[in-house]
């Protein structure tokens, strides 16, 4: 049954791509559309993963939880919790300009990681939470994976459609205006700090949802999963490569990076043993190189942000009315 193995592997990759696509969509809202340099994705990922884990896992000695709630409640809770955590952080940090915001968010993610690692009453500290239910997890291997893929794909599709719609709306145009020329947007009477906060919370909630889907897929969440390398910077690479400001680009970037990352190991394993072990590092190098090449030759990413330009002096010619404030 060789082909079944390939199906399992492909389904696994698709699930993974779906989960990371949610993170990339969240980042796209923050960076791609609003220009917020959030380098703390791992933090919101962790909040979502742990919130859902605590809400849905069965009772365990020595920590909060054991609420045993249905999985969708956990996922909703994950989004709400990530959004709630994002609110005070955004309130404080969003006054900072790009690189300072990046530093502040790295710090915040690190604080969250240390809290997760230390507070055993909340997260069972370094040992992590196990026994998290996976929907349809009792089915046989392939069926269970397929069922989870269907769920992830459904969630991603809904998230994608909503985000797309949001950006085609006046709100989206306003966000781009704030990103490209803050002073002009302010002069137009837009409440810039408030709008930025909206985007920050919105994006963070999606990242939280991604974290929750990840925790349920693995049926366990440990602090190792929120390492900044795999939970923050990898997502950045995916978004930059795919094309920030373009939701399809974000998803494509995730697929390209993950497929190269994962399948390159199959290729390097064909090498003789002593090289095969060393070649594992080549994969890390390959991702970095790919980012360099894209930044050098195609800085807008594989799928650039769609530009709808009309002749400037005559807004009617572009077929759109002047953007109205959504308020």
The residues in 239-258 that bind other proteins, with binding defined as CB under 8 A, are: 248, 251-252, 255
CA distances from 269 to 16, 239, 263 (A): 21, 28, 10
Torsion-angle region of residue 124: left (phi > 0), alpha (psi -120 to 50) or beta?
left
- Rounded to whole angstroms, the Cα distance separating 272 from 250 reads 36
Pick from 59, 87, 100, 281 the residue near other proteins by CB under 8 A: 281
The residues in 167-186 that bind other proteins, with binding defined as CB under 8 A, are: none
Exposed, middle or buried by CB within 10 Å (0-12, 13-18, 19+), for 312?
A: exposed
Residue found by looking up tokens 């990681």 in the block: 113
All residues at 6 or more sequence positions from 120 whose CB lies less than 8 Å from its CB, including other chains = 62, 63
The residues in 22-81 that bind other proteins, with binding defined as CB under 8 A, are: none
Q: Is 273 in the site for other proteins (CB under 8 A)?
A: yes
34 vs 124, which CB is nearer to other proteins? 124
For residue 130, the cross-strand partners are: 220
Q: How far is the CB of 112 from other proteins (least distance, A)?
A: 15
Query: Other CB atoms closer than 10 Å to residue 139's CB: what's the count?
Result: 14
The residues in 109-168 that bind other proteins, with binding defined as CB under 8 A, are: 114, 117-118, 120, 125-128, 130-131, 134, 137, 140-141, 144-145, 153, 156-157, 160
Residues that bind other proteins (CB under 8 A): 2-14, 16-18, 21, 114, 117-118, 120, 125-128, 130-131, 134, 137, 140-141, 144-145, 153, 156-157, 160, 217-225, 227, 230-231, 248, 251-252, 255, 259, 262-263, 265-267, 269-270, 273, 276-277, 280-281, 283-284
């Amino acid at each position: 049954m060789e082909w079944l193995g390939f199906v399992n592997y492909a389904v696994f990759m698709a699930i993974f791509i779906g989960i990371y696509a949610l993170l990339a969509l969240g980042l796209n809202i923050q960076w791609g559309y609003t220009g917020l340099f959030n380098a703390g994705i791992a933090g919101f990922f962790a909040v979502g993963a742990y919130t859902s884990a605590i809400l849905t896992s069965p009772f365990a000695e020595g920590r909060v939880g054991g609420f045993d709630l249905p999985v969708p409640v956990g996922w909703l809770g994950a989004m709400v919790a990530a959004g709630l955590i994002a609110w005070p952080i955004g309130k404080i940090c969003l006054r900072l300009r790009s690189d300072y915001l990046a530093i502040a968010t790295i710090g915040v993610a690190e604080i969250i990681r240390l809290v997760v690692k230390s507070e055993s009453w909340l997260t069972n500290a370094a040992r992590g939470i196990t026994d998290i239910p996976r929907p349809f997890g009792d089915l046989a291997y392939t069926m269970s994976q397929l069922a989870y893929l269907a769920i992830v794909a459904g969630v991603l599709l809904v998230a994608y459609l909503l985000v797309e719609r949001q950006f085609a709306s006046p709100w989206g145009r306003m966000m781009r205006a704030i990103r490209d020329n803050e002073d002009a947007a302010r002069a137009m009477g837009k409440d810039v700090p408030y709008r930025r906060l909206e985007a920050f919370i919105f994006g963070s909630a999606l990242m939280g949802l991604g974290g929750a889907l990840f925790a349920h897929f693995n049926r366990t969440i440990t602090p190792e999963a929120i390492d900044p390398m795999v939970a923050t910077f990898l997502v950045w690479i995916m978004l930059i490569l795919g094309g920030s400001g373009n939701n399809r680009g974000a998803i494509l970037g995730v697929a390209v990076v993950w497929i190269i990352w994962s399948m390159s190991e199959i290729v390097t394993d064909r090498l003789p043993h002593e090289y095969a072990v060393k070649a594992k590092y080549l994969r890390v190098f390959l991702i970095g190189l790919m980012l360099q090449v894209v930044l050098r030759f195609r800085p807008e990413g594989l799928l650039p942000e769609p530009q709808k330009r009309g002749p400037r002096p005559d807004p009617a010619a572009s077929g759109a009315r002047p953007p109205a404030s959504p308020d």
